[in-house]
Amino acid sequence: MRVLIVDDSSVMRKIVARGLRQAGFTITDILEAGNGQEGMDLLATDTNFKLILSDWNMPVMDGLNFVKSVRSGAPAIKNIPIVMVTTEGGESKVGAAMEAGANGHIKKPFTPETLQAELERFLK
């Protein structure tokens, strides 16, 4: 299965990719985008993702607007599950993301066990 990671931090993209593999998921491909707009550009030509993991604070297009764009996007992408990966633990922000169509939220720092527990339902 294929996963898209949207995060402006090269380190965080590597951390998430490593965590997914350590969590034991069978992932064939992990693609990366540096912000929400890059994520949308990528999804315009490649829609075959089982899950999208997105940061909140990013330049150009932030995570909240990325979620809104995906959910109002083409039929091939609008139902891909999106999980926010962010330090923002405030209930209002989590609530805003879920209201916009996100399917879950993971707080940094996290462990492979956390990823496994939170993402198992999407990556079965």
Partner 1 sequence: MSVANSPELMDKLLNGLRLAVTEMMTAMAMSEVVFAGQESVDAFSLTSEVVGLVRLDGKMHGMVGVSCSSALLREIVSRIVGLSPDELLMEDLLDGAAELANMVCGGMKTKAQIGDVNLSPPVSIVGQEYTAQWKTNRPTTLFTFQMEEGVLKVYASL
Q: Which candidate, 91, 12, 93, places its Cα nearest to that of 53?
A: 12
Q: What is the DSSP letter of 25?
A: -
For residue 22, the minimal CB distance to partner 1 (Å) is: 8
Separation CA 112–CA 122 (nearest Å) = 15
Separation CA 35–CA 102 (nearest Å) = 16
38 touching partner 1, by CB under 8 A: no
Give the residue, chosen from 48, 72, 79, 87, that forms a contact with partner 1 under the rule CB under 8 A.
87
24 touching partner 1, by CB under 8 A: no
Q: Provide the binding-site residues for partner 1, judged by CB under 8 A.
A: 9-12, 14-15, 18, 57, 59, 86-90, 92, 107-111
